[in-house]
Amino acid sequence: MTLYDVGRRLWEERIAAIACAVLAVVVAIVATFHISFSPPSLKPRALQMGTAGTTLLVDGRHSSLGAVNSKSSRLASLAGDYTELTNSQPIIGPVAHALGVDPAAVGVQVQITSAVPLAQQQPLEPQVGTEILATRRRYYLVARNDAGSQTIEFFAQAPTGRQAVLMVTTATRALRRMIATEARQAKVPRSQQAVIRTIGDVSGGTLNSHVSEEAAVLIAVLAWALAMTAFITIKDQAQRSALRRTTAELRGT
């Protein structure tokens, strides 16, 4: 069958082609978007992904950077403790509230590495990025601390980059608030209190912002092709069956 024959057949079945196109669009939208009627909106499903990350420094009121003393060792120990506490209600609760989801919807992974030779360490972001992409949760928070280090790395995954940035910034604020509350309850002198400093800005963005639209187009084309193929096949079979019955009746007479 030539392209001319295909085009002519589609023109003959143009009403069915339009109906199949409408059906294909509906199938594509349902498959790739969450539909809300109150208020009316379309939100991409988990095909789209955003990530964000930041580095936090556990420090004293008077910065310990550049100083080699027991205070730095104590702050490094606190950094490990604070990393462990990331998977707790005082951190996850505010993050879930900011996102408008149940706390159970937010996955958390805490990573505290042992002393690994520097030459054997790989860049942190590609490692954590791979682990984030491997999870099936829509919202995911990773907290990492290298043993002996005063830094905590936060990485987040969400359907959009804006939500991922929101997760990281909310977790940072919640950690600061939790530390301040604990210090106040323990009546720790202000000069001895630990503080959380952000190193640089929170970086984040949507990795594949148009993946849902692209997937919708692909699904719509495939659905339309399958629907038209099924329609034409069924119609041709029905016509052949009707022709055979007519021929049999003529022979019977």
195 and 246, same domain (yes or no): no
Are residues 75 and 181 both part of a single domain?
yes
For CA atoms 34, 38, 39, 40, give the dihedral sign: positive
Q: Domain total for the chain?
A: 2
Clarify whether residues 65 and 175 are in a common domain.
Answer: yes
Q: Which of 220, 88, 244, 106 is CA-nearest to residue 166?
A: 106
Are residue 226 and residue 143 in the same domain, yes or no? no
60 in the same domain as 23: no
Residues 157 and 142 in one domain: yes
What integer pLDDT is reported at residue 206 of this predicted model?
74
Give the model's pLDDT for residue 169.
94
* Predicted pLDDT at 97: 94
Same-domain pairing of 119 and 214: no
Token reading at 246: 């007519």
Per-residue pLDDT of the chain (253 residues; tens, 9 = 90+): 677 777 888 888 888 889 999 998 888 888 877 777 777 777 766 566 788 999 999 888 776 555 555 566 788 888 888 999 888 999 999 999 999 999 989 989 888 886 554 444 444 444 455 555 555 568 999 999 988 788 899 999 888 888 999 999 999 999 999 988 888 888 888 878 888 888 877 878 776 666 677 778 888 899 989 998 898 889 888 888 888 888 777 776 6
169 and 139 fall within a common domain: yes
Q: Which residue has the tokens 């987040």?
A: 156
134 lies in the same domain as 70: yes
Range of the domain at 224: 3-45+210-252
CA atoms within 13 A on the CB side of 140: 20
In 3D space, the residue among 162, 185, 155 whose CA is nearest the CA of residue 86 turns out to be 155
Say if residue 73 is in the same domain as residue 86: yes
Which among 169, 186, 206 is the end of a domain? 206
Query: Could you give the 3-state DSSP secondary structure of residue 34?
Result: strand
- 163 and 248 inside one domain: no
Residues 24 and 144 in one domain: no
